[in-house]
Amino acid sequence: MRIVVKVGTSTLAYATGRLNIRHTEQLVKVLSDLKNEGHEVILVSSGAIGMGVGKLSLPTRPKDTTTKQACAAVGQCELMYTYDRLFNAYNHTVAQILLTGVDVEHTERRVNFQNTLSRLLELGALPIINENDTVATDEITSIGDNDTLAAIVACCAKADMLVLLSDIDGLYTANPHTHTDAKLIPLVEEITPEVMALADGAGSALGTGGMATKLRAARMVTSSGADMVIANGAHPELLYDIAAGRSAGTRFAARKED
């Protein structure tokens, strides 16, 4: 299968912005193993700004655009250095692609991106994609969040599946942080207004995505004919079950053509 995996800042980094070594190393190990099994893997990785916060020893995530851009510039170096080093230990080559909203909205640029992505996969590389946060700052140039970016990448790559690794096990009947009786929904066959209403919207302190962005991503991806799964990034080994079609997290079924 061709699988796009999106990993959130809350999985890669502690609240301090420093790298969560255990989670990151386990993620790389599982993704490398999936590639060894014959799957094509594309990684959409958050974390540049969060890791920049840690690298620059800032007390909290900045609110002003200029400092966010500076954190992204520093953090992206740290992020790719870490991925390159870890994947290299399993004999896998990584490639970096940074995108803006213009790159996916503009037809010629989008085709160029698709061609590059396709060739990288043919060459056996593992593309690692992030938004170019050092230049994407407004509603024209910015994609906004990496759940949306991952959905766009999955559609551009004609992926079989998108997996969003987050700090939650999946979609619940209510917010599990505030409702102890909330139950995990293992399968969503149709994204109805009632399903959309289950979203709470807010992400973690370091991240930007919430359930609302994940459900919008699911709507985009399932409409293109691919499945999408939300699973807990603290347990990257769930990717084995997901790739094998076993139940893990919440699976959104691809919309079947009439």
Q: Check: CB of residue 234 under 8 Å from CB of residue 11.
A: yes
Residue in the structure block whose two tokens are 């990496």:
146
Q: Pick from 80, 177, 88: which is nearest to 129 by CA?
A: 80
Q: Which residues participate in the annotated binding site for ATP?
A: 6, 166-167, 208-214
Q: Which residues participate in the annotated binding site for substrate?
A: 46, 133, 146
109 CB-contact burial (10 Å; exposed 0-12 / middle 13-18 / buried 19+) = middle
Give the predicted TM-score (pTM) of the model: 0.89
* Residue-by-residue pLDDT tens, the chain, 258 positions: 999 999 988 888 887 777 889 999 999 999 999 999 999 999 999 888 888 988 898 988 888 989 989 999 999 999 999 999 999 999 999 999 999 888 888 889 999 999 999 999 999 999 999 988 777 665 445 666 889 999 999 999 999 999 999 888 999 988 777 778 889 999 999 888 888 888 754 343 333 347 888 999 999 999 999 999 999 999 999 999 999 999 899 999 998 664
Measuring CA to CA, how many Å separate 51 from each of 44, 79, 107, 161, 207? 15, 7, 32, 27, 11
Q: Which residues participate in the annotated binding site?
A: 6, 46, 133, 146, 166-167, 208-214
Residue in the structure block whose two tokens are 């009632």:
194
**Domains of the chain, start order:** 2-252 (3.40.1160.10)
Percentage helix, strand, coil for the chain under 3-state DSSP, each rounded to 5: 40, 15, 40
* Phi then psi dihedrals of residue 150, to 5 deg: -65, -40
